Amino acid sequence: MTYKKIISISQPRYLPALNYIQRMVHSDIFILLESVQRQARAWENRNKLLIPDEKWLTIPIKSSSRSLISNTFTDGQKWLENHKKIIKQHYAKCKFYDEDILNEYYKNMNSNKDNNLSFQEIAFSSINSLSKILDISINPIRENDINNDKSLTGGEKILNICECLQGSTYISGPNGANYKIHDFFKNSGIAVKYHFYKPTKYTHLNQEKFFPLLGFFDPLFNMGHKWTRKEIFKKPHFSNEPSNFKL
């Protein structure tokens, strides 16, 4: 009997939202891309929290926006304590706020003695911290630890990684159609499932409006560990075809 190996692949995410985390926990292997250019003004080094309104928390980057993720470094380390201070200031009154959880997420990010930290190392350590915080099993692998063809791009790169790992299924985000994932995988023997996450509405502290897809601290501190895990492990919505899914 051939083992079915489910793979998902993505650029790193700082303070990931629950859609990103759900995709990881429903995969046997999660690959952090490294040999791709960092996307300027995207989610690799920033995410949104209610501080007190919907705003970005951004890791300052020293490297050029043209740099590969593997060559991306932070601009110093002052942002670490600053971000922790901002999060504590605006979430400390939440019912399920826990400073130990906040410290756990950030504790391994400054283990490097160099002033400018490797962003990929930050991403990798934060996933391991997430596993402890949410009591979830994630198997993250850095792309540089795979013997794939680093010169490939887009959907061809994704297929090559899945083939190197002998995957049976690839879980794509809803934007996979932009990279022609369906075309590249069509005759590969590897199934493609498009993951569409529809968040369950919950109540934010001091907010009447619901803000979907905020960084995971928001649902965790507002609704607690049990609710957040239930949301992550709820039955995911998969489609065999890309579509215009709306929240």
27-51 pLDDT, tens per residue?
Answer: 999 999 999 988 877 889 999 999 9
Predicted confidence (pLDDT) at residue 246 exceeds the cutoff of 60: no
Model pTM score: 0.92
Predicted confidence (pLDDT) at residue 247 exceeds the cutoff of 50: no
Give dist(CA 144, CA 160) in Å, integer: 13
Query: What pLDDT sits at residue 148?
Result: 94
Query: What pLDDT sits at residue 152?
Result: 93
> Which comes out higher in pLDDT, residue 42 or 163?
163
> In 3-state terms, what secondary structure has residue 142?
strand
Quickly list H helices, the chain.
18-25, 78-91, 99-106, 119-134, 154-164, 181-185, 217-223, 225-233
Instruction: Give how far the C-alpha of residue 174 lies from the chain's centroid of Cα atoms, to the nearest Å.
Output: 14
Q: Which residue has the tokens 């201070």?
A: 85
pLDDT digits 0-9 by tens, 164-209: 999 999 999 988 777 789 889 999 999 999 999 999 999 999 999 9
Predicted confidence (pLDDT) at residue 153 exceeds the cutoff of 50: yes
Which residues lie closer than 8 Å to 76 by C-beta, 6 or more apart?
Answer: 60, 62, 115, 116
Strands 54-58 and 191-196: unpaired
Predicted confidence (pLDDT) at residue 112 exceeds the cutoff of 80: no
Query: What pLDDT sits at residue 109?
Result: 83
Nearest to 22 by CA among 6, 38, 34: 6
